[in-house]
């Protein structure tokens, strides 16, 4: 399944073909989101019950690199999709199967950290995703913060200056209620996406107007960065815009 590598200890390395190799992100007792060996996000078990295989629609990171010589590359920060391709109607729009991805990935996990290396002959960069879970020995409260931290480390290995941007797209799951017969995710009611700039964080807060905070199924979530200069959209265009 893998080869030997060294981070701080000798660990197995999992290739993009290792579909069952996943690393859990999430505080103690708060649910988990899994990072797959391709660098993808899967198994959104944040609803108070087991939910293996629950993928979040339109949820991914992507990279754009430009060298100033009209050479531009844009790819989702995931390894290429691997068989079996067993959907009866092919990939759905929300699975973004048509986006270009990296030719190869390698994953090494060493709790509470996981590293994904991305390789592609079209991309003159060394790219590593480092993700980790809050884990402070003997500190249960802060080890139970319901979050995962993701960082992309990019190094230019070409002889040209590279202008690099990274973007993230996440779905508001606050009204998620399951799937229909075609596996389409259902979101009854109204969700609210709002940009926030507070203290050292900037990003999109995800809430809902369809549930009261006192309800058992109420939840809120968000995606935030520590960078000061950010560009954002609170909503994608609605309809079949692709």
Of 107, 145, 113, the closest CA to residue 130 belongs to 113
Residues 6+ apart with CB under 8 A from 197: none
pLDDT on residue 10 = 61
Q: What is the mean pLDDT of residues 106-127?
A: 96
pLDDT on residue 233 = 94
Which CA distances in Å does 49 have to 29, 55, 210, 216?
11, 15, 21, 13
Domain ranges of the chain: 4-171, 172-235
pLDDT on residue 146 = 94
pLDDT on residue 4 = 43
pLDDT on residue 9 = 59
pLDDT on residue 236 = 86
Q: What percent of the chain has pLDDT over 90?
A: 72
pLDDT band at 87 (very low <50, low <70, confident <90, very high): confident
Q: What is the mean pLDDT of residues 169-194?
A: 92
pLDDT on residue 78 = 98
pLDDT per position as a tens digit, 142-171: 999 999 999 999 999 999 999 999 999 999
Burial class (CB in 10 A: 0-12, 13-18, 19+), 164: middle
Q: What is the mean pLDDT of residues 3-26?
A: 79
Mean pLDDT of all residues in the chain?
91
- 52-56, 81-85, 161-165, 236-240 — which is least confidently predicted? 236-240
pLDDT per position as a tens digit, 19-59: 999 999 999 889 999 999 999 999 999 998 888 989 999 99
């Amino acid at each position: 399944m893998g080869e030997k590598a060294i981070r701080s200890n000798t660990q197995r390395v999992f290739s993009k073909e290792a579909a069952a190799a996943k690393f859990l992100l999430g505080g103690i007792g708060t649910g988990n989101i899994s990072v797959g060996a391709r660098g993808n996000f899967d198994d959104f078990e944040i609803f108070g019950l087991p939910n293996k295989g629950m993928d979040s629609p339109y949820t991914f990171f992507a990279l754009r690199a430009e060298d100033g010589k009209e050479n531009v590359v844009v790819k989702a920060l995931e390894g290429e999709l691997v068989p079996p391709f067993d959907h009866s109607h092919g990939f759905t729009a929300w699975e973004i199967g048509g986006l270009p991805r990296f030719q190869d990935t390698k994953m090494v996990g060493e709790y509470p950290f996981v590293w994904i290396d991305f390789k592609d002959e079209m991309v003159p960069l060394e790219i590593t995703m480092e993700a980790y879970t809050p884990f402070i020995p003997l500190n249960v409260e802060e080890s139970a913060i319901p979050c995962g931290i993701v960082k992309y480390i990019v190094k230019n290995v070409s002889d040209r200056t590279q202008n690099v941007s990274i973007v993230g797209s996440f779905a508001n799951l606050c009204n998620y209620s399951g799937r229909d017969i075609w596996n389409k995710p259902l979101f009854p009611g109204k969700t609210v996406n709002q940009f926030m700039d507070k203290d050292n964080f900037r990003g999109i807060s995800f809430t809902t107007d369809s549930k009261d905070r006192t309800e058992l199924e109420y939840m809120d979530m968000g995606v935030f960065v520590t960078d000061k200069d950010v560009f954002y959209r609170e909503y994608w265009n609605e309809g079949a815009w692709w």
